Amino acid sequence: MNVDEEVGRLKEEIQRLGKIQPDGSYKVTFGVLFNDDKCANIFEALVGTLRAAKKRKIVTYEGELLLQGVHDNVEITLNPTPSPPAATT
């Protein structure tokens, strides 16, 4: 699986496990993601996938590297997908 595919799957899992916010974003804690059985089966390197998604500005979270236990309560935000620009006539 390539990085873009993994990031796409990460978005799906954050939407499944997270809570939608009024601005259209989703929030989930690192611990919830890390300890989910389905995520464990999908992502060989969850932390690496999160870093790739952060670099692409798809998710935001505090810090650079998330570690199990230490950072279980860190909130990961899946940024809302921008709406396509309205067509002008």
Give the residue with greater pLDDT, 64 vs 29. Answer: 29
Give, rounded to a whole angstrom, the gap between the first and last alpha carbons of the chain. 41
Superfamily of domain 3-78: Costar domain (1.10.10.1540)
- Average pLDDT of the chain to the nearest whole number: 90
Any idea how long the chain is?
89
Q: What six digits make up the tokens of 81? A: 């997908």
Q: What is the pLDDT of residue 81?
A: 77
- pLDDT tens digits, one per residue of 60-89: 999 988 999 999 999 999 998 766 666 566
Residue 17: pLDDT over 90: yes
Q: What is the pLDDT of residue 87?
A: 59
Residue 3: pLDDT over 90: no
Q: Where are the domains of the chain?
A: 3-78
